Structures are given as structure tokens and as C-alpha cells.
Amino acid sequence: MDALINEIETVIGIKFNQKDLLYKSITHKSLLNEDSDLSLESNERLEFLGDSIIQISVSDLLYKNHPDWAEGTLSQARSKLVNRESLAKLSIKLGLGKYLQISRGEEESDGRNKESNLADVFEALVGAIFLDQGFHNAQSFVNSFMIPLDIENPTTKDLLDPKSILQIKIHKHNKSSQTGKRLKYNTLSISGKSPNQVFTVDVSMDNKVLGKGTGSKKSEAEQNAASDALTTLA
């Protein structure tokens, strides 16, 4: 078991203090029917805990990254990011399926590749990280996957506007380079008279202009500037 735990710790980049928690997170309930070890526990309770941690982490992430989104849009985005399909994909990315402790029957029914099992083990892993490492580390673990997923998952692209995508890209860049640079939108000019005004805006970071845009509203010009910046950064 030690070799298995060490391998998982290497994969997730976290060294557990309580190794039994990590093992419990990968133990499917089907194994309890075949194993005579009465002390063995399934990952179901950890799933419950992990689900809550994921929900609050993603809620916080979306709230901060998308200041212009209404409550309904935030809820839609969260639902799509934390649904079974999305969490199963994260499990696949980590290769958690091969570590699942399952019964022979579950093995024969391709249990390692079942979407429900894969989603459940990711939730359980987050729950285990929370109990062993605390909320901050559990949240950081979740966010390390959710920040890129917010952009890359095709089910959420329809909810993302250029400003949001640019903000997330910059956030991701700052995290990897350990810098604290921020985007700044500047109104360069306003021409014409209401309601036919044209706003010209640029977006910059660290005094470097990344893109420019125009629009009949300031918000529209900012979105177009962000879109121009994304083209430049692509």
C-alpha cells in the first residue's frame, strides 16, 4: 500500500500526513463486500465533504473572476464546471481510475472508467485533502484545475465574455510567474453625442497596451479591447 500511496502523492503533488485518508479516498464501496477487513471504509463520506469544498471553491473563483456576471449566470457556470462529466474529466487527467480500489465485479463491469466512479473519487480526494491539509490547500488544489477548465471546457465557453477570458488568462499567468500584475482599462476618447457616442478604450498591463477597441458603450469598447488583446496573446 505504501508504494501506491507514494505514487498518488507524486501525481497530485501533495504529501499526506494521514495516509489512511488518502487510501480511503480511492476506496470504492464495492470493495467492502469482498474484503474481510472490517476497519475498511469507503470514500462515500469523503465524497460528501469534497463536493462541498468544490462548490465553495468554484463559487469563490467565479465570483472573483467574473464581476460582471449576474447570479443566474454564475450558477449556470458553476453547475457546468462541477457536474459529473467535468469532475470525471479531471480524474482522467490525474489518472485516478487506475488507483481505484474496487471489487472484482466492479472491475469486470469496467468500473475504473465509469463516469460516476471517476467523479466520485475526485470529490473524495478533495475531501481528504481538506481534512489532512486544511481548506486553503484543498481550495488551491481545486482552483489549479478549475481556472483552466473555466476557459477550456466547451460547455462553459458560451458563458464567457472576452474580458472574463482575458482576466483568467492573466490570473493564470500571474500564478505561474508569481507576479501580481493587473489589467487596466483606459478610456482614450469619446466622440459624438449621445445616443450616437463612440468610445475608444485600451487595455494594458504593466504600462504595456495589450489591445484596443471601440463601441457605442464603454462596456462594449472594453469587451472589444479585451478581444483584441486575446488575439495578440494567442
pTM for this prediction:
0.66
How many Cβ atoms are within 10 Å of 84's Cβ, its own excluded?
14
The amino acid at residue 152 is E
Q: Mean per-residue pLDDT for 106-118?
A: 92
Confidence of residue 131 (pLDDT cuts 50, 70, 90): very high
What's the pLDDT at 169? Answer: 79
Give per-residue burial for 185-219: e unless 16+ CB within 10 Å, then b: beeeeeeeeeeeeebbbbbbbeeebbbbbebeeee
How many Cβ atoms are within 10 Å of 178's Cβ, its own excluded?
6
Which H or E run includes 210? strand 208-215
Q: How many helices (H) and strands (E) does the chain have?
A: 10, 3
* pLDDT, tens digit, 9 for 90 and up, residues 176-225: 555 567 899 999 999 998 778 999 999 999 889 999 999 999 999 999 99
Q: For the chain, what is the mean pLDDT?
A: 87
Give, in order, the Cα–Cα distances in Å from 29 to each of 56, 63, 199.
Answer: 26, 35, 60
* Cα–Cα nearest to 123, from 20, 18, 29, 52: 52
Residue ranges of domains in the chain, CATH in brackets: 2-159 (1.10.1520.10), 182-233 (3.30.160.20)
The amino acid at residue 188 is L
* Cα–Cα nearest to 72, from 87, 62, 82: 62
Q: Whole-angstrom Cα distance, residue 168 to residue 125?
A: 25
What's the pLDDT at 224? Answer: 95
Which is catalytic among the residues 47, 106, 123, 150? Answer: 123
Contact 225, 201 (CB under 8 A): yes
* pLDDT, tens digit, 9 for 90 and up, residues 24-53: 999 999 988 776 666 678 999 999 999 999
Is residue 226 classed as helix, strand or coil in its secondary structure?
helix
Is 154's pLDDT higher than 50?
no
What's the pLDDT at 73? Answer: 78
Q: Is 106 a catalytic residue?
A: no
Give, in order, the Cα–Cα distances in Å from 44 to each of 17, 29, 231.
Answer: 21, 7, 45
Q: Mean per-residue pLDDT for 115-135?
A: 97
Q: Is 123 a catalytic residue?
A: yes
Which is catalytic among the residues 47, 51, 202, 228? Answer: 51
Contact 53, 130 (CB under 8 A): yes
What's the pLDDT at 165? Answer: 80
